[in-house]
């Protein structure tokens, strides 16, 4: 399973990077790195492209011995007291220049603890727009619902709800974005079936996002709309640094800092006591972020 998962996520990384490079005016910078303690990865990043202010697509394969704190942050699989571990996966985030093109995040991972008898899959994808377009929200969620329904019709409602609950900024009382799916400690119906489910979700990423990107990319925007995007990116930073379990796991396992913090936008904004004008499109988005909706 380790070999199968590594092969799959590397393929997905290649496919996503190729699709983005077809729409950008540059190529991803690639860094091959090794982790002190075991393993390494392949990080690919574009900064200041024509489409994306910053986009990164990371592959990693790491192993070694966990600290008790890192074991706590790892997620599922607590049925093993053995602190040795193996983890591999893909993690991506894309921050566009245009405020009408949403930020998007996805990751798909496989974990083992101990001798490998304790294993599980995790991952998901979520959309973080600065401006709400219902057709985009419906398309994104429907794409992942179709991938989930192929395996079990209970997966999407369960993992959509988990996504809404996970990407929640408690100190702001609002969600980071408009959700998608999020799953962890996934083992059903068996190891092969769980792998196929994770693979289908990973393969759903490009069909979920590219149509939205292409639909919004040519939209004109104002300085005020760009400023709102920067404020929303500030919220993105707050979630990733305060709450995100993947960030904590990477920092607690001597991960590569540049790869761990790749998810942060190149620029953000924190404006004191900012409140959107009542009835504005900005206020419309914030209303949805404070009360998640079912889109499909």
Residue with tokens 């702001």: 172
Contact 137, 128 (CB under 8 A): no
Q: What is the chain's Cα-based Rg? A: 18
Active site residues: 105
Closest CA to 167 of 238, 228, 108, 97: 238
Closest CA to 172 of 256, 232, 218, 96: 232
Closest CA to 22 of 49, 58, 54, 44: 49
169: which strand partners? 174
How far CA 285 is from CA of 64, 163, 232, in Å, comes to 43, 18, 10
How far CA 4 is from CA of 11, 110, 189, in Å, comes to 11, 10, 18
Burial category of 221 from C-beta neighbours within 10 Å (exposed 0-12, middle 13-18, buried 19 and up): middle
Strands 179-186 and 118-128: antiparallel
Q: For the chain, first and last CA: distance in Å?
A: 33
Q: How far apart (Å, rounded) are the C-alpha atoms in residues 27 and 19?
A: 11
The number of beta carbons lying within 10 Å of the beta carbon of residue 273 is 4
Largest Cα–Cα distance in the chain? Answer: 57
């Amino acid at each position: 399973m380790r070999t199968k998962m590594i092969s799959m996520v590397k393929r997905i990384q290649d496919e996503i990077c190729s699709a983005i490079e077809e729409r950008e005016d540059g190529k991803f910078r690639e860094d091959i790195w090794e982790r002190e303690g075991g393993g390494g990865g392949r990080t690919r990043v574009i900064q200041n492209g024509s489409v994306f202010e910053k986009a990164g697509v990371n592959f990693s394969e790491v192993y070694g011995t966990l600290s008790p704190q890192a074991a706590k942050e790892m997620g599922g699989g607590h049925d093993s007291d053995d602190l040795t571990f193996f983890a591999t996966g893909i993690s991506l985030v894309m921050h566009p220049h245009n405020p009408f093109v949403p930020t998007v995040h996805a990751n798909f991972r496989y974990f083992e603890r101990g001798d490998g008898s304790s294993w599980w899959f995790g991952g998901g994808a979520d959309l973080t727009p600065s401006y709400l377009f219902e057709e985009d929200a419906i398309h994104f969620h429907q794409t992942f619902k179709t991938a989930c329904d192929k395996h079990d019709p209970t997966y999407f409602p369960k993992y959509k709800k988990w996504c809404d609950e996970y990407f929640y900024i408690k100190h702001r009382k609002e969600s980071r974005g408009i959700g998608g799916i999020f799953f962890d400690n996934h083992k059903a119906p068996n190891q092969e079936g769980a792998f196929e489910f994770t693979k289908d979700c990973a393969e759903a990423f490009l069909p979920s996002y590219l149509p939205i990107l292409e639909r919004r990319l040519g939209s004109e925007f104002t300085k005020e709309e760009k400023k709102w995007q920067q404020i929303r990116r500030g919220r993105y930073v707050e979630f990733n640094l305060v709450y995100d379990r993947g960030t904590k796991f990477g920092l607690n396992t001597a991960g590569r800092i540049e790869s761990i913090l790749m998810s942060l936008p190149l620029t953000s904004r924190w404006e004191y006591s900012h409140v959107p004008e009542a009835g504005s499109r900005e206020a419309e988005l914030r209303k949805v972020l404070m009360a998640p909706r079912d889109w499909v």
